[in-house]
Structures are given as structure tokens and as C-alpha cells.
Amino acid sequence: MRIKRLIFGERSLTKIAGVFASKSLAESVVVRLKQAASLDDPQVYLVGPQDGAAVGSAAFSRKLEPEQAGIWRTLIRAHVVFGVAGVIAGALLYLVFRAADNVAVESTPGMSLAVMLFFGGIGGLLVGGLMTARPDHYRVISAVRRAVRRGRWAVVIHPITQRQIDVAMRELRARSVRVVRSL
């Protein structure tokens, strides 16, 4: 968990959504979830057809990604952590080639080190970019978008603790048409 906190700047690293056929059922689940899982208002959102599922809809975006400042912190942290890790991996690879008496590395040691550090850093930055994009969130966002476009309602939860995740999953599985969650 400490590694996740080092990389990600959001408080809630998991998104959970349940899809409902009616607004009244979704609202009752919101009330139940807040009580059962001890969730605060900014952790639970009701998303419906009025929010608009179009790309760029402000209401839709705020409910699915409420921690905008956290996303920027994630962007910076992920790139720094993985960029440095990539440079270290490049240096270790260089040392392995030197220890193995690789002819190419032995003949141009300075250039070989620079190339391995450069490509290690670039590789790390690419991984940092992937972590910032949060591909695991796409599953939740696309499922909610499809549901809203079909006139259904979704309850989106941004849990902070494992207990909140467990309670939310249990409640949503018992009452919703479909449940999706990110990692």
C-alpha cells in the first residue's frame, strides 16, 4: 500500500459503480451505502441521464473523477518515480553488460552508459504516463457512460479504505443490475 501512496496522489485509488434501472432504487442504495460503509458525500455520486454521458460533460466528469488536484499529483509522482526507476534499471543493465565483458559495452563504455540511462529513463517515463492514464478506471467510466446513455442510473463510489470497498461491493452486488470496479 505504501508504494501506491508514493505513486498516486488521489485519496481514493478504487472506483466502484453499480448500475440501476430506476432513480429511486439508486437513491435508496446511496443512502444505505453512506450508512453501512461510513462514506462521506464526496465519496458517493448518483449519475443519471441528466448528467450527460458525452465526452467532456462537466457534471459527468466531476462525478467520475472528483479529485482533479490528485490527478495532477499522480502525474508528477508517477513520472518522477518511474523515470528514476528506469534510469536505475538502465544503470543496472549497464553493470550487467560490463560484468559479462560484453564487447560492445567494453569498446564504448561512456556511450553505452549514456544510451542505457537514456532509454531506461524514457521507458520509466512511459510507464509513469501509463500509470497516470489509469487504464483500470476506463472500465468503470465506460460502463457508467453506457448505462446513462441507455437511461439508467449509476451509483459511483470512491472508497478510501478496504472496509469501504468490501461493504460497497456487497451492497451493490445485492441490489444493482451490474457492478464494475477498478483495481
pTM of the model: 0.78
pLDDT higher than threshold 60 for residue 1: no
Cβ atoms of residues 124 and 113 within 8 Å: no
pLDDT at residue 111, rounded to an integer: 97
pLDDT at residue 181, rounded to an integer: 92
Give kind and range of the element (H or E) at residue 34.
helix 23-36
Task: Please report the sign of the dihedral spanned by the C-alpha atoms of residue 157, residue 161, residue 165, residue 171.
Answer: negative
Sorting pLDDT into bands at 50, 70 and 90, what band is 57?
confident
pLDDT at residue 167, rounded to an integer: 93
Q: CA 176, CA 178: separation in Å to the nearest integer?
A: 5
pLDDT digits (tens, 9 = 90+) for 107-142: 999 999 999 999 999 999 999 999 888 888 888 988
pLDDT higher than threshold 90 for residue 63: no
pLDDT higher than threshold 70 for residue 53: no
Give kind and range of the element (H or E) at residue 87.
helix 68-99
